[in-house]
Amino acid sequence: MKTKSLCLLASLALVTPAGAASSEWTNTPGGKVRLIIDNPVQPASEVRGAIQINLDPGWKTYWREPGDAGVPPELDLAASTNVKSYALAFPTPHRFEDGNTQWAGYKKPVSLPVTLTLADPVKPAHLKGHAFLGICETICIPVTAEFDISVDNTPSDALIRTQVASAFDQLPGQATPSFGARSITRKDDHINVTVDLPSDDPNVDIFIAGDGTTNFGMSKLKSREPNSAVFSVPVVSANDPKPIVLHYTLVQGEKAVSGTIEMKE
């Protein structure tokens, strides 16, 4: 696990009794964390939720690939029942610089959308697990927020439904041929990513995330054309020689899209 400067280890857990559509807040220096679920009123194979991270002023947390240093958010629901799969999504991050260190993350309260796929939509599900993330000011505090929640068609209240919907609304749009990553090549200890852009707005950035076996640092703009650009991204570690799928968020001005692209070694 990559850490940022001095890392003060903390495991702050607060478990909600099964039956609630949201966990209690796990309080930590610099903020608090909880999981909320939009309980479907009818049997559904897909259930939506969000990890809410409320940050105090001056505190930050990380994107899915922190960059030069940091603690990426993780969700572990391995102890759950009737959950076939789950996925964590990420709003558009910001680029931060701390001296010679650059990293990607958030400086305001943020909600990370969660999508659950149930093995049997007719049966209730039991969500048991934890979220692990770093909350940082001048030091980074790893936080474990545990939860124990039932998904049983008991309607969530209107505020929870609105908060979950808002979390998904904050996600970047889907990448397109005119706004997205076109190609990727690897050379030694970095990759070059060519992107297509919808305008000549000079404010462009890209954030690259691996699959857990390959990790990347922060991108650097290498060249720029009116409707395209090339970014160089350092490869921090690579443990799998097979082709991997990279996740990216591409930003131009106030617009952002996300997508995937395959990298072959």
* Whether pLDDT at 26 is above 90: yes
Residue of 67 and 132 predicted with greater confidence: 132
Question: pTM of the predicted model, to two decimals?
Answer: 0.88
- Local confidence band at 18 (pLDDT 50, 70, 90 cut-offs): very low
Measure the CA–CA gap between 222 and 220, rounded to whole angstroms: 6
Domain 26-169 has CATH 1.20.120.790: no
Q: Average pLDDT of 224-229? A: 94
CATH superfamily of 173-263: Immunoglobulins (2.60.40.10)
- SS3 track for 75-139: EECCCCECEEEEEECCCCCEEEEECCEEEEEECCCEEEEEEEEECCCCCCEEEEEEEEEEEECCC
Q: Average pLDDT of 112-119? A: 97
* Whether pLDDT at 16 is above 50: no
Residue of 27 and 100 predicted with greater confidence: 27
Q: What is the residue type of 186?
A: R
Q: Average pLDDT of 187-207? A: 94
Distances (CA, A) of 94 to 5, 153, 236: 19, 37, 20
- Local confidence band at 17 (pLDDT 50, 70, 90 cut-offs): very low
What is the pLDDT, as a whole number, of residue 244?
A: 80
Measure the CA–CA gap between 182 and 195, rounded to whole angstroms: 5
pLDDT tens-place string over residues 141-195 = 999 999 999 998 888 899 999 999 999 999 999 999 999 999 999 888 899 999 9
Q: Average pLDDT of 54-68? A: 91
Measure the CA–CA gap between 102 and 67, rounded to whole angstroms: 7
Average pLDDT, the chain: 88
- Local confidence band at 2 (pLDDT 50, 70, 90 cut-offs): very low
Pairing state of beta strands 214-216 and 255-263? Answer: unpaired
Instruction: Name the residue ranges covered by the structural domains of the chain.
Output: 26-169, 173-263
